[in-house]
Amino acid sequence: MRARPNALVVVLATLAVLAGGSPAPAQDYPNRPITVLVPYAPGGTADLTGRPLAAALERALKNPVVVVNKPGAGGAVGMSAAAHSKPDGYTLLVTLSSISVIPEADRLFDRKPAYTPDQFAPLALISADPAVLVVRAESPWKTVKDFVDDAKRRPGEISFSSSGIYGPAHLAMEMFAHSAGIKLRHIPYPGAGPAMTALLGGHADALAPGPAVVMPMVRGGKLRVLAGWGGKRVGALPDVPTFKELGHDIEFYTWVGAFAPAGTPEPVLQKVRAALRQAVQDAEFKGAMGKLEAPITYLDAPEFKTFWDTDSRRLAEIVRRIGKVEEKK
């Protein structure tokens, strides 16, 4: 009979530990290296932002932060790895707006999603660069009206390059074509670099990159910018109108955001968010972003979640409008 009270004491003690007797997850966080997954190859927007951000996070947290590139399937491989990683704050994700596109494309093709957006906890928006419509300087189009009028005369003949089907440049141009009531010919390439080379070499007529990518060629007289997809004019291009100014109610941004796996304890999320707030104010990080001519557009988790939800709905609509497009082998 005496064993029962002892057993009861053990059970109660165990429950007390489980209920809060053990240290809270954030009390000693972080105490080992943090991995920042970038789901693209080195040299792209996410990588060029993620590396100086990780260095600034390391200084803010006083703890090692390591960037790991995990490219594949347009970012799906790395984002899936992040979504399925242990939600303990030691694996973070720095990625692009395509985080919203891949699950929608999977649904189009009746594929099992590599991940779903609800597997992520948004931490912060780091930067948001509006796409810009660029053509070669020697092209006949001086304005968007010139471009649209010509496209209406020659449906499907004016082409645009992109970094791939359902990629940012593809979505931006489809958004514009739908708004203008024109039909353009899409030429996908395996990356942003080849897409730009195609435009410069005359193998495509237009492209929708971020302004930071094209500014050297605009200043060098090789490219002309006709309009921007932002809510306001690009600072470096004060004379270039937005599509909204021209009567097209469209916006598109190539943005970079930080995420954690869903289920990460709230105290840990709070620590990471505080570190990110500090990181975007870091002088070295600001210097790195300045060299890229990429504006820091910081939003903390609640505001970023609202931004992400709105952007996801917009991108999903574009993907559904494009419909199934098979990659050519």
pLDDT for residue 291 is more than 90: no
The residue among 212, 228, 244 that closes a domain is 228
Task: Tell me the per-residue pLDDT of 204-233, one tens digit each, with 9 for 90 and over.
Answer: 999 998 887 788 899 999 999 999 999 999
Residue 58 maps to a domain: yes
pLDDT for residue 10 is more than 80: no
Residue 266 maps to a domain: yes
- Whether residues 105 and 175 share a domain: the answer is no
Mean pLDDT of the chain: 89
pLDDT for residue 66 is more than 80: yes
- Whether residues 80 and 138 share a domain: the answer is no
- The predicted model gives 304-318 an average pLDDT of 93
What's the alpha-carbon Rg for the chain, to the nearest Å? 23
Residue 195 maps to a domain: yes
Q: What band does 42 get if pLDDT is binned at 50, 70 and 90?
A: confident
The pLDDT of residue 16 is: 41
Residue 69 maps to a domain: yes
Residue 9 maps to a domain: no
Residue 239 maps to a domain: no
Q: What band does 328 get if pLDDT is binned at 50, 70 and 90?
A: low
- Whether residues 138 and 162 share a domain: the answer is yes
- Whether residues 114 and 144 share a domain: the answer is no
- Whether residues 46 and 73 share a domain: the answer is yes
The pLDDT of residue 166 is: 86
pLDDT for residue 1 is more than 50: no
- Whether residues 119 and 142 share a domain: the answer is no
Domain range for residue 82? 34-129+253-322
The pLDDT of residue 145 is: 98
Q: Which two tokens stand for residue 7?
A: 């057993």
Residues in the chain: 329
Q: In the chain, how many domains are there?
A: 2
- Whether residues 167 and 315 share a domain: the answer is no
Residue 241 maps to a domain: no
The pLDDT of residue 18 is: 43
- Whether residues 121 and 44 share a domain: the answer is yes
- The predicted model gives 85-96 an average pLDDT of 96
CATH number of the domain that 182 lies in? 3.40.190.10
The pLDDT of residue 15 is: 42
Residue 178 maps to a domain: yes
Least confident of 67-71, 175-179, 210-214, 302-306: 210-214
